Amino acid sequence: MKKIFWVATMVAGILFMNSCKEEDLGPGNPIMEVKTEIANAYFGDSLAFTVNASDMDVPLSTLKAQLYFGEEMVSETVIRTKVSGKDYSGKIFVPYYKDIPNGTATLKYILQNIHFTIVEKTVEVNCVRPQFENLVLVTEDGQQLDMPRVGENQYAVTAEFPQKLNAYIKAPAYGTNGNEITFGYSSDGTITEGTNSYIPFSALEAGTYEVTFNTLTYAGSPFISMKMNGQEFTQVDASTLKIETTMEQGEAVVFEGVPNYENYWIDPDFFTKADDGSLTFIPVSGNYRITADTQKEYFKVEVLDAAMADATLQTDGTGALYIVGGSGTLGTESIGKPSYIGAPSWDGGNGAICMSPIEPKKYQLTVVAGEQITVDGVNFKFYGGKNWGNEYKSDRITSENDFFIVNPGPNDDGNVWLKEGVTLESGTTYVITVDMTDPAHAVMYAVKK
């Protein structure tokens, strides 16, 4: 016991002595000599620098190079400085951002020792936006077309393009210190730098037209303005646009500026299409999200709540009801819109089919056998929310029809299958409805039209 106490006391003493020695060194005196002269740069550059760092009294810690646009630090490089009197080299990136005018940036060097004593040096750097000779338009099918400069920051190419042109833009490395910069599409539906996600350019029709891009404002063209009842769709990604709005039951619906509109599949659960092509909204009045899928060419409709979020089934049976299931990639036991082929299957988010609330507490799904549903087998389930929320099992839903059963479990409890010996008639329409008057005892019906 005495031995353990003696060892502990000895270790504490050594630590105390070391601490005292470090304190005896004082704050130190870091010195740096910037050996690289940087006065001018282009946005998108990587600027090389060399600094000699020393401190004869206290060991060094770090050398930092920081770049500021105004008061905002936009780039930083940190180098560990283990040896005093040594030259340290690195690079600092000058970001390429939208709408930043030519101007003066501040480059700050900061040398710090282990006692947090620092020394700073500041350099003003004149930053200019590159005027590239040309950009490159990279299309989805692999073509690379030059976009010559046609004005300050403005680039354009005219060629034979499809009506929907998915492409990104790249700028070559500019000058001695430049880096290649890409411009693509962001998740908020705008063009941004640093990505090669495809920009969904679009024209009224395929043929010869001009694609433009401005490297200062990031404005590009062409983009078709798609509208529903005068309200403009906002871009979600390269193939989808959306509107979130209040709809009235029986309201006339007019789509404008939709490329290939004549090819669009019109969902019969949400829109009645008259002989003259006019559309009427079917569901109960409320908030809805209408998504234009320009790749699958249909309008996906989903129910929203008062806060414009995905609606859920309420305790009184109102709200929303979803179907999830199938195996769309395999094409068996599948269900989906506008086709079961390639449907997202059991993806509770993207794959959830929102049923149409045709009446309060009554939900409808219309399918054509061989088109939206497979003829020889089905496998799906009802949910009161997206992402498998409020799952309906056999204790809360029954089936009263000649075609479908609700599996009583124990495995796959609540899954909807075809009755034994039943095959759906290819090309025939089936209307599935769910009565949620009593959400604890829901009933599934189905009729053949």
Q: So what's the pLDDT on residue 5?
A: 38
Q: For the chain, what is the mean pLDDT?
A: 92
Band (pLDDT 50/70/90 cuts) for residue 335 is very high
219 pLDDT above the threshold of 60: yes
pLDDT-wise least confident of 6-20, 37-51, 67-81, 258-272? 6-20
pLDDT at 225 over 90: no
With a CB cutoff of 8 Å and minimum separation 6, the contacts of 28 are 55, 57, 58, 113, 114, 115, 117
Q: What is residue 188's predicted lDDT score, i.e. its pLDDT?
A: 82
For residue 330, what pLDDT band results from cuts at 50, 70 and 90?
A: low
Amino acid 22: pLDDT = 46
Question: 127 and 94 in contact (C-beta within 8 Å)?
Answer: yes
What pLDDT sits at residue 290? 98
Q: Give the contacts of 10 (CB within 8 A, at least 6 positions apart).
A: none
Residue 236 has a pLDDT of 86
Paired with 60 in beta bridges are: 113
Residue 238 predicted with pLDDT over 90: no
Q: From CA 166, how far away is CA 294, in angstroms rounded? A: 12
pLDDT in tens, 183-214: 999 988 899 999 999 999 988 788 999 999 99
Q: Provide the percentage of residues in the chain whose pLDDT is more than 70.
A: 93
Distance CA 144, CA 159 (A): 12
Chain centroid to CA 239: 12
Helix, strand, coil % over all residues of the chain, rounded to 5: 5, 50, 45
Q: What is the pLDDT of residue 344?
A: 82
Output the pLDDT for position 371: 96
The beta strands (E) that lie in 265-337 are given as 271-273, 279-281, 286-293, 298-304, 322-325
- Cis ω before 222 (30° cut-off from 0): yes
Tell if the pTM clears 0.85, that is, is over it.
Answer: no
Q: Quick one: pLDDT at residue 374?
A: 94
Q: Which domains does the chain have, with CATH numbers?
A: 31-128 (2.60.40.10), 134-221 (2.60.40.3620), 227-448 (2.60.40.3620)
Segment 213-225 shows an average pLDDT of 94
Distance of CA 379 to the CA centre of its chain: 30
User: Which residue, among 427, 410, 407, has the nearest Cα to 419 in the 3D structure?
Assistant: 407
The per-residue pLDDT for range 35-67, each reduced to its tens digit, is 999 999 999 999 999 999 999 999 999 999 999
Per-residue confidence (pLDDT) for residue 237, from 0 to 100:
80
pLDDT for the residue 35: 96
Distance CA 20, CA 18 (A): 5
Task: Provide the residue type at 387 as one letter.
Answer: N
Q: Compute the distance between CA of residue 65 and CA of residue 92 in angstroms, rounded to an integer.
A: 7
Backbone angles phi, psi at 261, to 5 degrees: -55, -35
Mean pLDDT across 372-392: 95
Please, which pLDDT band fits residue 4 given cuts at 50, 70 and 90? very low
Q: Are 245 and 286 in contact (CB under 8 A)?
A: no
Task: Specify the pLDDT at position 12.
Answer: 44
**pLDDT, average across residues 418-430:** 96
Please tell me which residue, 19 or 306, carries the higher pLDDT value: 306
Mean pLDDT lowest among 94-108, 250-264, 341-355: 341-355
Question: pLDDT category, 284, cuts 50, 70, 90?
Answer: very high
